[in-house]
């Protein structure tokens, strides 16, 4: 199973495909970017959503309950704001990624010479969004073709099991370590708020158990006592880590 998974991952990484931002229904916004310390610091998440809405996108924070029509996470884009080093100048740019982390679009760099961080970040972000606005986004209604669809021969050799997660533990949305599940061809990937892929899940014949891969360690993710646990062996001893997941 692990060899098959690695084979698919390799094929995905080398097969290219092209999508337009117009092929995606909405954008998911993290509450925190890597260059800030707390959720929505300097109101960056708020500014990001405001700019996305002005540009014509439907936008949701990563911890929001979203309508059922947006339940397919691979039909959505995931925004990231990056900071470039600059002497006495704040430089920000925007990246829009698909559910596999592939960059679909990168904006122009926005700049500000303001000394106040909140003002500088807002000005630089607004300037970066000038190029996003120039895209004239309008949802095309076209289905997003993911790269895993192009490796169906490899995927077909994996067991076919139910995709549903039944009687799943209830996620604590206030947990700062909460991970969010994004559907993939053969299971899910779990992302944090940044968003960064933390764990890969592969379906098994049980809806309450997955083959799990985290930081190169393979184990299982199992539902027990209304909680999820990542279990694996280390030095011949069973290790069980509680994982908070929102499916």
Q: In this predicted model, what pLDDT tens digit does every residue of 107-144 receive, in sequence order?
A: 999 999 999 999 999 999 999 999 999 999 999 888 77
Higher pLDDT, 210 or 235: 210
pLDDT band at 18 (very low <50, low <70, confident <90, very high): low
pLDDT band at 146 (very low <50, low <70, confident <90, very high): low
Higher pLDDT, 201 or 153: 201
Q: Give CA–CA dist 158/150, Å, rounded.
A: 15
Mean pLDDT across 163-178: 69
Q: What is the pLDDT of residue 168?
A: 65
Q: What is the pLDDT of residue 62?
A: 86
Indicate the DSSP class of residue 174.
T
Q: Give CA–CA dist 142/239, Å, rounded.
A: 44
Q: What is the pLDDT of residue 23?
A: 94
Q: How many helices (H) and strands (E) does the chain have?
A: 4, 14
Looking at the predicted structure, is the pLDDT value of residue 193 above 50? yes
C-beta separation of 60 from 52 below 8 A: no
pLDDT band at 237 (very low <50, low <70, confident <90, very high): confident
List the alpha helices (DSSP H) in the chain: 2-14, 44-54, 117-133, 152-155
In sequence order, the 6+-apart residues with CB closer than 8 A to the CB of 36 are: 42, 44
CA 197, 215, 94 angle in degrees (round to 5)?
30
Longest dimension (CA), the chain: 57
C-beta separation of 55 from 126 below 8 A: no
Looking at the predicted structure, is the pLDDT value of residue 12 above 60? no
pLDDT tens digits, one per residue of 47-75: 999 999 999 999 999 888 888 888 888 89
In sequence order, the 6+-apart residues with CB closer than 8 A to the CB of 152 are: none
pLDDT band at 9 (very low <50, low <70, confident <90, very high): very low
Here the tokens at position 102 are: 């592939």
Considering the entire predicted model, what is its pTM?
0.59
Higher pLDDT, 16 or 232: 232
Q: What is the pLDDT of residue 145?
A: 63
Domains and CATH numbers, the chain: 18-133 (3.40.50), 159-246 (no CATH)
């Amino acid at each position: 199973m692990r060899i098959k998974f690695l084979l698919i991952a390799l094929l995905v990484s080398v097969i290219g495909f092209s999508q337009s931002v117009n092929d995606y229904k909405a954008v998911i916004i993290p509450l925190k970017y890597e260059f800030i310390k707390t959720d929505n610091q300097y109101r960056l998440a708020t500014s990001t959503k405001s700019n996305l809405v002005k540009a014509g996108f439907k936008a949701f924070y990563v911890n929001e309950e979203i309508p059922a029509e947006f339940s397919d996470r691979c039909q959505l884009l995931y925004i990231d704001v990056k900071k470039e080093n600059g002497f006495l100048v704040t430089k920000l740019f925007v990246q829009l990624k698909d559910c596999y982390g592939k960059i679909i679009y990168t904006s122009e760099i926005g700049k500000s010479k303001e000394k106040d961080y909140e003002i500088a970040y807002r000005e630089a972000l607004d300037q970066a969004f000038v190029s996003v606005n120039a895209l004239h986004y309008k949802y095309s209604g076209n289905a997003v073709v993911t790269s895993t669809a192009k490796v169906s021969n490899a995927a077909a050799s994996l067991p076919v099991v139910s995709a549903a997660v039944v009687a799943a533990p209830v996620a604590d949305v206030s947990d700062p370590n909460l991970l969010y599940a994004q559907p993939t061809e053969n299971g899910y990937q779990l992302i944090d708020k940044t968003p960064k892929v933390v764990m890969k899940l592969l379906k098994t014949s049980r809806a309450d158990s997955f083959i799990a891969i985290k930081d190169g360690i393979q184990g299982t993710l199992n539902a027990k006592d209304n909680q999820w646990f990542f279990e694996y062996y280390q030095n011949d001893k069973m290790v069980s880590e509680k994982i908070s997941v929102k499916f």
